[in-house]
Amino acid sequence: MSDIRSGTGRLRTLQGGDGPRRKSTDDLSALGDALTSNPDEATSLRHVFEEPRSIEETRIPQSFIADLALKTLYFSGTLLAGQIAQMTRLHFSGVVEPILRALKTQQLVEVIGGSSLNSASYQYSITNKGGERARELIARNRYIGPCPVSLRHYVEAVEIQAKRRVLVREAEVRKAMKGLILAEDIFQRIGPAVNSNESIFVYGPPGNGKTSIAKAIGLDLLPGNIMIPHAIYEDGQIIKVYDPESHRPINTIEEQLAEVDTLDKRWVRSYPPIVITGGELTLSDLDLAWSDTNRYYEAPLQLKANGGVLVIDDFGRQRMEPTDLLNRWIVPLEEKIDYLTFHTGKKFPIPFKTLLVFSTNLEPRSLVDEAFLRRISHKLRVDDPSKEQFFDIFLSSCKVYGVEFNRDAFNYLMKKHYTDINRPLRACHPRDLLKQMASFATYRGDPMVMTKELIDLAATSYFEFLD
């Protein structure tokens, strides 16, 4: 594998398996233009994500592709040849058709119907011999679905996509955070923190939007059009990467399966991933997860987050010492490389191109020492809102929840439930109190208007046990 510290190595010019390879089509040109404005990078991106038109171009062993096709057919019963190509996301005439011919020659599959004028319409069924072979394969690995990309191919893709990051500006930060009412210094510090692409420590009292800031960074400030593979192949092992909970595809399934373009359909064009984990995080979640049942690996959180943002929420409340968790990130943060290990003992590097965000309402100095705090270059303290900001948040929340604002009732709320008892203001309180008011008003059949009575009902219910 090429050294991932120095880039992607040489990107070869692809040649088709069914005649001369056509030049990049409008689809590939559009992809290159969408991913970068640099012409040289756009050309390299098109090469990396151009559909393989031969078995060799897949960079995956022919035996693995044959096994994948056989398992696919075994689980489905009978399939058209074209359906097998769609399910494996491989080019039919250049890759799947020769694989099926070889399986037929070995008497592992047979053709039971179809038009002689269109080989994609041939209906294939598995033979008894093929069934025995498939069961042996399934005992070793139950993976079926899109054909994986090689680890080297993945490294090339991540490295070249990371080079085209664009810097965010103040106007873009303000637009991304438009739903949040924050102190001015926070707006000034978010942009440089994102542009550093290193790590961010967001801290401060609970309920003031720390997680919302992290989500807004991933949703609106990181560049889109990240290509994510369904799975990675390395040394006979499979790592499942694509996760609908973490990845948001830009294209529809129909577009991904279309035969009209030259994009490699083993990749999913997505928005930057946003992976959020909290107190449930364990160190094992950052390692490859082996399934004894399926006999393949699930990618760890940081691998799924490549090209996007990984948020460690509620930092300090995990079932481990904070130093143990932070020590896990020393090499990735400094070298931009992480190391994963198969259960066979083989260790291999992967790029770490993730914006890592730690979010906590605990005092950072109580969690980690000064040496590690130096490694986290950007710290954002999100304090309680001022009275003016709290008022603005309340007005905005009234519109969201359809509750008519009443200034006298608001002043009553501030005096009785905040000033008189010295309760701190939290940015989440307007939203939560108004939800309570709306629930009580609906139940009682009252108008959706702020009243002192509704405020007392909501505050009594909401603040119980919180002080």
**Are residues 321 and 455 located together in one domain of the fold?**
no
**Are residues 338 and 437 located together in one domain of the fold?**
no
Distance CA 113, CA 93 (A): 18
Contact 81, 92 (CB under 8 A): yes
Identity of residue 64: F
Supply the range of the domain harboring residue 235.
170-381
**Are residues 238 and 345 located together in one domain of the fold?**
yes
158 within some domain: no
175 within some domain: yes
Contact 462, 433 (CB under 8 A): yes
More confident residue, 440 or 16: 440
304 within some domain: yes
Last residue of a domain, one of 140, 160, 182: 140
**What pLDDT digit, counting tens, does each position of 139-166 carry?**
999 999 999 999 999 999 999 988 877 7
**What pLDDT digit, counting tens, does each position of 86-103 carry?**
999 999 999 999 999 999
Give the CATH number for residue 435: 1.10.8
Say how far residue 325 (Cα) sits from the centre of its chain.
21
DSSP string over 405-455: --HHHHHHHHIIIIITTTPPP-TTHHHHHHHHHHHHHHHHT--SB--HHHH
Distance CA 466, CA 458 (A): 13
Provide the pLDDT for residue 7: 33
Structure tokens at 284: 């094992």
444 within some domain: yes
Half-sphere exposure in the Cβ direction for 145 (13 Å, CA): 19
**Are residues 135 and 70 located together in one domain of the fold?**
yes
**Are residues 224 and 314 located together in one domain of the fold?**
yes
**Are residues 254 and 116 located together in one domain of the fold?**
no
List all residues 6 or more positions away from 399 whose beta carbon is below 8 Å from its beta carbon: none
Give the CATH number for residue 175: 3.40.50.300
Other beta carbons less than 10 A from residue 138's beta carbon: 18
Last residue of a domain, one of 317, 347, 381: 381
When the pLDDT of each residue in the chain is averaged and rounded to a whole number, the result is 86
| pLDDT at 6 > cutoff 50 | no
92 forms bridges with which residues in the sheet? none
Range with the poorest average pLDDT among 107-111, 201-205, 256-260: 256-260
The DSSP output letter for 179 is T
Identity of residue 370: E
Last residue of a domain, one of 140, 156, 190: 140
Provide the pLDDT for residue 324: 87
**Are residues 375 and 311 located together in one domain of the fold?**
yes
The 3 state secondary structure assigned to 247-313 is: CEECCCHHHHHCCCCCECCCEEEEECCEEEECCCCCHHHHCCEECCCCCCEECCHHHHCCCCEEEEC
**Are residues 335 and 447 located together in one domain of the fold?**
no
Structure tokens at 390: 């709290």
**Are residues 128 and 239 located together in one domain of the fold?**
no
**Are residues 191 and 117 located together in one domain of the fold?**
no
More confident residue, 296 or 195: 296
Structure tokens at 206: 């609970």
Give the CATH number for residue 125: 1.10.10.10
**Are residues 450 and 367 located together in one domain of the fold?**
no
| pLDDT at 206 > cutoff 80 | yes
Identity of residue 350: I
Half-sphere exposure in the Cβ direction for 74 (13 Å, CA): 23
Provide the pLDDT for residue 24: 37
| pLDDT at 9 > cutoff 70 | no
| pLDDT at 13 > cutoff 70 | no
Other beta carbons less than 10 A from residue 168's beta carbon: 21
307 within some domain: yes
35 within some domain: no
DSSP string over 196-252: HTSEEEEESSTTSSHHHHHHHIIIIIS-S-EEEESEEEETTEEEE---TTT-EESS-
Structural domains in the chain (count): 3
Distance CA 409, CA 424 (A): 19
45 within some domain: no
Contact 124, 83 (CB under 8 A): no
Distance CA 50, CA 271 (A): 19
78 forms bridges with which residues in the sheet? 125
48 within some domain: no
Query: pTM here?
Result: 0.83
**Are residues 365 and 405 located together in one domain of the fold?**
no
**3-state secondary structure at position 396:** helix
